[in-house]
Chains A and B, each alone.
Chain A
Amino acid sequence: MIGTLDSRIPSGPLAQKWATHKDHARLVSPNNRRKFQVIVVGSGLAGGAAAATLGELGYNVKCFCYQDSPRRAHSIAAQGGINAAKNYQNDGDSVFRLFYDTIKGGDFRSREANVYRLAEVSNLIIDHCVEQGVPFAREYGGLLANRSFGGAQVSRTFYARGQTGQQLLLGAYQALCRQIAAGTVAMFPQTEMLDLVLVDGHAKGIITRSLVTGKIAAHAADAVVLATGGYGNVFYLSTNARGCNVTATYRAYKKGALFANPCFTQIHPTCIPVSGQNQSKLTLMSESLRNDGRVWVPKKAGDKRSPKQIPEEERDYYLERKYPSFGNLAPRDISSRAAKEVCDEGRGVGESGRGVYLDFADAINRVGEQTIRERYGNLFHIYEKITGENAYERPMRIYPAVHYTMGGLWVDYNLMSNIPGLHVIGEANFSDHGANRLGASALMQGLADGYFVLPYTLPVYLAGQIGKRPPTDHQEFCKAEDEVRARTTKLLSINGSRSVDSFHRELGFLLWDKCGMARNTRGLREALTWIPEMREQFWRDVRVPGIGKEFNQSLERAGRVADFLEFAELMCIDALTRDESCGGHFREEHQTPDGEALRDDEHFADVFAWEYQGNGSIAAPKLHREPLVFETVELTQRSYK
């Protein structure tokens, strides 16, 4: 069904590809734009920026989100910052260096051309956001300030206190509001996409359910853009919001879109450790804290003294020891595994023993408490709310947690999936971060896609589509709508004995154990036998109270968890098939003598893109491989020593 995967990367030298592509890409003229209807699912940085920008250009846009306002998309929670190659600090940064750091940080599992383009447009994003009124941090002279983030030796991260995502999202939200008022964007909050509709093989619409009234509706369009974020919630506990899900992308997968690298998930090293059984989510402590905080554990296993009583010489600042040139700013995958390792050795701190210290005492001595308060005040505040501890006086306790998903729907250079018309942007696609994302680069990617890439690449598809939008009474819409209705009815009628959350939690813990920070053949095989059993039990024994035609949060969650229960299997299949370690995908069978991820470039320097085989056969998707061609960078063993 699907031929060779054509990534449509333009020819020519790396630095010229994007310019050449734009010079020759097809356009839609201003008076034709209003003839097109574009659906954007998602109102985060990627979807919000795309919907607003397409509206500005004169397209008719329908934008959907599950929250009660587009401003609440989970991008709002990003704390630390956004990268750009401005080189304002005069410390040797450049577009090439940002490109190189990102591709190396991703452990050479992403496309050169995409990543280079990302670095190229990064500077435009900062210009644009400043113009929108994003109150980035400033120096006394009025210039923009920067901080450092993991995996880089330059200071290229722009930030707005510890609320960078909030401020960038409000910028996009305000632009979106302007277009809503102008009538170019119709906003559908609390409206969940439950299926993708294909007509003659092209993505031409979606089926939605109103979370307020339960009404199921069909929406037709000339093109569909998915900007639905990441699927980290498959692990139940993660730093994602409660509602984050895989439904939109997984439904598209079941309609034939390829899912790329689903096992590439990022475990963030600095989160507040789990406490208690009823915990519903984990909270990130921004990586920016590692600029000033020093990570340590006691040298002795089982040392239960309070941190102040442990003298300097009995502390192990293990990141500084193992990675002297990057120290506390080693990339996320490496820092997370290092934390796991010391805790596995019995040197973890806190009640559960699954925690390490992040200590600000030195920084407070150096620059004063006031400066630290200015830099991270809101993070210390969140920390105190959750743990009841004051981190100005006592080191924070942190532990890795699921944070971001590099995997996502496969897209070509135009951000279009293998289904014509279906475009995927932001965290929902797989494109730019390889096997590990560097800090402050997701905000950059979401906004790059939404403001500066999709508006140029969407017309490439649309130009040939004038007058091809089907009516919503087309049989494909009716069929999809019926399927969505039947599924909702099914979920409500099982009336078993277990709650939706109990299944979600069980699945999450299994995945964390078998497909989390470290993976091996045996564990993955076990997971692959258990997940189908869990799924079978879910469809036999779940209890979803209430009815479909009303506000029903149990039903919302049931639909999402049902998809997670299928998707988890795909993740494990991917993790098992990728018989190497790379970035966040650490297969215990493949490590260097000192425990670092050991890549196998000869066999695995490619993207795994999975195709659903239909007939309900979840267990045997078909693998397509897109070889990654490196024309500019040399593949090396990553070293941050």
Chain B
Amino acid sequence: MKFKLKVWRQKTATAPGKLVEYQAKDVSPNTSFLEMLDVVNEGLVAQGKEPIAFDSDCREGICGTCSLTINGEAHGPDHPGAACEVYMRRFKDGETIVVEPFRAKPFPLIKDLVVDRSALDRIVQAGGFIAARAGSAPEANSILVPKHEADRSMEAAACIGCGACAAACPNASAMLFTAAKVSHLAFLPQGQPERTTRVLKMVTAMDAEGFGNCTNTYECEAVCPASISASLIAKLNREYAIASLKRRAGE
């Protein structure tokens, strides 16, 4: 197969950027999208040019490092899945493919297709945890967790922290990401003691990072590689409302 690529090139955060055209030839349909970019990069290096900078690590959809917008879609056409799980058999031979970084104000660009997503880490640092000191836990089976609750918690915990939800959202909202973490912990008995403060602190941090509000466009759910359900955003709103009431009541 062969493709025409239009790739966003931008040397630094402040330099101007533009789409640059490249050809990808003799591509096997069983090549992954990132491997196709590897081959293009090998070609660029051979010509003495700078390769396209893009992020990846696990290349199997679990680490959340890859972050490409392919033909306008965060993570490309093969949902649910991360950009590294997209294979060239998904494209038509001869197709033009536009590759851009994840764009959201709280994700400043570093170079080409690489952005800084540390804002997501700071939301977790604000309270996305259970204060469990090593060595202080009770015996694991002493607190029973109904399978149904454990399953719901696991579904929320599956978030890979990629930030596609915010990149896809017209308001650059990180509600799906935050909702996933709040829900993961709120579904478990161990998460109860800090339930109120956690959601208040995380939402405050999210706003402080400059992520926008949710206006129910569901773009986040559509691109989420971990199939996090947008219904968790409603849960986040409920958790937040109850927590605010409790706080006001002085609890």
Binding site for B on A (CB under 8 A): 49, 52-53, 56, 67-72, 74, 76-77, 86, 88, 123-124, 126-128, 130-133, 135-144, 160-161, 163, 166-167, 170, 173-175, 177-178, 180-181, 187, 189, 212, 241-243, 275-276, 278-281, 283, 382, 385-388, 451-452, 455, 497, 499, 501-502, 543, 545-546, 550-551, 553-554
Partner of A130 from B36, B50, B190 at Cβ < 8 Å: B190
Q: Are B139's CB and A181's CB within 8 A?
A: no
Partner of A543 from B45, B63, B130 at Cβ < 8 Å: B45
Task: Give the Cβ gap from B179 to chain A, nearest Cβ, in Å.
Answer: 16
Residues of A within 8 A of B60 (CB): 77, 281, 283, 382
Given the interface pairs A135-B184, A142-B146, the reply to whether A551 lies near B48 with Cβ below 8 Å is no
Distance between Cα atoms of A551 and B52 in the complex (Å) = 11
Distance between Cα atoms of A166 and B34 in the complex (Å) = 22
Residues of B within 8 A of A280 (CB): 32, 34-35, 38, 59
Partner of A77 from B58, B124, B132, B151 at Cβ < 8 Å: B58
Distance between Cα atoms of A543 and B51 in the complex (Å) = 12
Partner of B51 from A167, A212, A279, A554 at Cβ < 8 Å: A554
Task: Give the Cβ gap from A68 to chain B, nearest Cβ, in Å.
Answer: 6
Task: Give the Cβ gap from A288 to chain B, nearest Cβ, in Å.
Answer: 16
In B135-191, the 8 Å CB interface with A consists of 135-141, 143-147, 150-151, 153-154, 157-158, 160-161, 184-185, 187-188, 190-191
The verdict on B222 contacting chain A, using a C-beta distance below 8 Å, is no
Task: Give the Cβ gap from A381 to chain B, nearest Cβ, in Å.
Answer: 8
Distance between Cα atoms of A187 and B118 in the complex (Å) = 11
Q: Return the 6 tightest CB-CB contacts between A and B, nearest first.
A: A142-B144, A174-B129, A131-B137, A135-B154, A127-B137, A131-B132
Q: Are B81's CB and A385's CB within 8 A?
A: yes
The verdict on B111 contacting chain A, using a C-beta distance below 8 Å, is yes
Residues of A within 8 A of B118 (CB): 68-69, 189
Partner of A180 from B63, B125, B157 at Cβ < 8 Å: B125
Binding site for A on B (CB under 8 A): 12, 28, 30-32, 34-36, 38-39, 42, 45-46, 48-51, 53, 55-65, 78, 81, 85, 87, 89, 110-111, 114, 116-118, 120-121, 124-141, 143-147, 150-151, 153-154, 157-158, 160-161, 184-185, 187-188, 190-191
In this complex, what residue of A is CB-closest to B39?
Answer: A278
In this complex, what residue of B is CB-closest to A501?
Answer: B42
Residues of B within 8 A of A88 (CB): 141
Partner of A76 from B42, B62, B120, B144 at Cβ < 8 Å: B62
In this complex, what residue of B is CB-closest to A283?
Answer: B60
Q: Are A77's CB and B125's CB within 8 A?
A: no
Jot down 30 A-B pairs with beta carbons below 8 A, ordered by A.
A72-B65, A74-B58, A76-B58, A77-B62, A77-B63, A131-B132, A132-B132, A132-B190, A135-B150, A144-B140, A166-B62, A177-B121, A177-B125, A178-B131, A187-B121, A212-B110, A278-B38, A278-B39, A279-B35, A280-B59, A281-B60, A385-B78, A388-B87, A502-B42, A543-B45, A545-B45, A545-B49, A545-B51, A550-B111, A551-B53
Partner of B129 from A141, A160, A175 at Cβ < 8 Å: A175
Residues of B within 8 A of A242 (CB): 56-59
Taking A160-B157, A281-B60 as given, write out 13 further A-B residue pairs in contact, using a Cβ cutoff of 8 Å, ordered by the A residue number. Answer: A71-B161, A77-B58, A139-B147, A144-B141, A173-B124, A174-B124, A175-B129, A175-B132, A178-B131, A189-B121, A242-B56, A385-B61, A553-B53
Q: Are A177's CB and B128's CB within 8 A?
A: yes
Residues of A within 8 A of B129 (CB): 132-133, 174-175, 177-178
Q: Are B42's CB and A128's CB within 8 A?
A: no
In this complex, what residue of A is CB-closest to B129?
Answer: A174
Q: Are B63's CB and A76's CB within 8 A?
A: yes
Distance between Cα atoms of A189 and B63 in the complex (Å) = 14
Partner of B134 from A128, A177, A278, A279 at Cβ < 8 Å: A128
Distance between Cα atoms of A139 and B134 in the complex (Å) = 26
Residues of A within 8 A of B161 (CB): 69, 71-72
Residues of B within 8 A of A278 (CB): 28, 31, 35-36, 38-39
Q: Are B45's CB and A388's CB within 8 A?
A: no
